[in-house]
Amino acid sequence: MSTTGINKDCLVKKKYKKYPNRRIYDTEASSYVTLTEIAESIKEGHEVQIMDVKRNEDVTAVTLTQIIMELAKNNQHLIPIRLLHLFIRSGETVMHDFFENYFEKSLENFLAYRNQMEEQFKLCMDLGMDFTEKTKKVMDKINPFNVHQPPSKKI
């Protein structure tokens, strides 16, 4: 079981082909897909690989970055502006090292910690303790990104 709660052993890597007309084809389902559908597949736990048919080149990273940019259009504060400035100033090597070595490990640790906290709260609930309000407050604090949770409705 991974830190996200998804068993990666059960899921197959999905392969897609990207054509010159910018359409993406799901080779398993034999149909064209949207970036949103690829994002949903990733949220379900699938790994993906996207190959450019014309150049026979792996364009997975570029396509996933495009998905993140589409998310940013809907959420203006996805990545703080100051951080974006720092990325641009620091150059490609520093950004690559940051994302590959630091950010990935930090996010994995964050998700593992959050999952452990959820399990502990579930154990308390199973013991008959009512921490409903306290649990919500704590989870809101340790889950600032609302990863794997529907957005909370604020009145």
Query: Residue 15 phi/psi, 5° resolution?
Result: -110, 135
The contacts of residue 151 (CB under 8 Å, 6+ apart) are none
Q: pLDDT tens digits, residue range 62-77?
A: 999 899 888 888 776 7
Shared-domain flag, residues 73 and 91: no
**What is the residue range of 8's domain?**
1-77
Q: Which of 77, 92, 126 is the last residue of a domain?
A: 77
Q: Is residue 155 part of a domain?
A: no
Q: pLDDT tens digits, residue range 40-65?
A: 999 899 999 999 999 999 999 999 98
pTM exceeding the 0.85 threshold for the entire prediction: no
Q: Which of 44, 77, 110 is the last residue of a domain?
A: 77
